[in-house]
Structure 1
Amino acid sequence: MAQNNSSQASFARWWRQVLFVPMLHRKWLTLELKARLTAKVTEAERRHRGEVFLVIENHLPIQSAYHLDSRARAVELFSEYRVWDTEENTGILVYLNVCEKSLDIVADRGISTHVSPTVWRAMCDKAVSGIANQKTEDSLTDLLDELGQLLRQYYHLENNPSGNELSDTVIFLK
């Protein structure tokens, strides 16, 4: 989802990150849930040439939280994890920031030519709504299913490809 990558400086955002207590929020992301989400990423990548990459972060890095919002952080991670580095530019990064209660999708230029920014935003809003209703796992798995269907629509393969360009393992940044 291409958007302006500049963030508004925010002292309030910085304070939220400083005061965020990960121990109070870690309970929901168990090893079992992380394994289920990783399996769901693998499933979402079947029968198409796209790549889905899921990053969950407790809070923004304190040293940059004043200047960096969740969207800018998602773009930063898209680059850091080289989600853009797929043969057909079909990488999609899903970024969940627990402290900010935000979810962003950053899609590479190949898939973005087929999908409008309003569709990406609607997918994010639907997932965030479910997360706000304490249905985090269901919301994330539904979103991953939707992304898989979307990628199959534009990059369908009859047989599952032998290569996987990006890891399916969910990344959890504390």
Structure 2
Amino acid sequence: MNKLQRIFRHRWTDDRDLAHALDDAALARIQSRVSASEKRHSGEIRVCAEAGLPMSYLWRGASARERAVMMFGKLRVWDTEHNNGVLIYLLLAEHCIEIVADRGLNRHVSPSQWQEVMARMRAAFRKGEFEAGLNDAIDAVDGLLARHFPLAPGQANPNELPDAPHLR
């Protein structure tokens, strides 16, 4: 896809498309799933969905990965006590997903494991099942965090980041 086609696609995809893909009820269910997950481990999960990239990213040909890494920092996912925050990022205009995990979790998870999680998300997104794809990713990240950062019996996970999906 050339630069002008990409710009057009991102400008054409807007907040209405994002609201259609993830309505208020879906967002509430995703938030509940994140909240429930964080009762099992000390990690933090953040979901971020954007209709399209900002024009500055499009003009310089930046990737969805670059934007996800920037949002990881902007949303302070890196700023958790155990360095085990995870950002699950959806770019609707390109049906692109990215997972950015902090160093505490990345120490335990191989790139191929992350690729498996993203492959399942891509399959759901190709079918237009955005909520299902995000739920599958939340469940997969939950499993990894519960394995590597479980809570001790009676221990609580202080909620360091908002559980609600961040939409842009």
TM-score of the superposition, structure 2-length normalised? 0.90
Letter of the structure 2 residue corresponding to residue 56 of structure 1:
A
TM-superposed deviation, 1:16: 2.2
Structure 1 position 19, deviation (Å): 3.2
**Comparing 110-119 and 57-66, the one that deviates more:** 57-66
1:71–1:104 contact (8 Å) kept in structure 2: yes
SS in 1 for 2:47: strand
Q: Residue in 2 aligned with 1:119? A: 113
Richer in helix (by share): 2
Counterpart AA for 1:34: L
**Which moves more between the two structures, 155-164 or 53-62?**
155-164
In structure 1, what is the Cα distance between the partners aligned to 2:42 and 2:35? 12
Counterpart among 83, 98, 108 of residue 104 in structure 1:
98
SS, match of residue 59 in structure 2: coil
Q: Distance in 2 between matches of 1:155 and 1:79?
A: 21
Q: Report the AA paired with residue 127 of structure 2.
A: N
Deviation string, structure 1 residues 75-122 (Cα, Å, up to 9, x no partner): 000010110001110000000000011010000000000001111111
Counterpart CA distance in 1 for 2:18 and 2:43 is: 31
Contact 2:88 2:137 in 1 (8 A): no
> How many angstroms does 1:64 deviate by?
2.2
Q: 2:159 & 2:99 partners in 1: Cα distance? A: 20
CA gap 1:60/1:160 in 2 versus in 1, 3 angstroms: farther
What is the aligned-residue identity percentage? 32
Q: Which moved more, 1:15-24 or 1:91-100?
A: 15-24
RMSD: 1.7
Partner SS, residue 163 of structure 1: coil
Count of residue correspondences: 165
Corresponding residue of 1:161? 156
2:85 maps to 91
User: How far, CA to CA, are the matches of 1:168 and 1:113 in structure 2?
Assistant: 24
Q: How much does 1:66 deviate?
A: 2.5
Kindly indicate whether the alpha-carbon contact (under 8 Å) linking 1:47 and 1:159 is maintained by their aligned counterparts in 2: no
Letter of the 2:138 partner, please give it.
L
Among 10, 15, 27, which residue is 2:8 paired with? 15
Name structure 1 gaps, 5 residues minimum: 1-8
Unaligned stretches of 5+ in structure 2?
A: none
Alpha-carbon distance between aligned partners in 1 of 2:141 and 2:155, rounded to the nearest angstrom:
16
Q: In structure 2, what is the Cα distance between the partners aligned to 1:140 and 1:39?
A: 13
Q: Deviations 1:45-99 (Å, cap 9, x if unpaired)?
A: 1221111000011000123222221100000000101100011100000000000
Counting only pairs closer than 5 Å after superposition, residues 28-67 of structure 1 correspond to structure 2 as: 28-67=21-60
**Structure 2 CA distance for aligned equivalents of residues 131 and 145 of structure 1:** 16
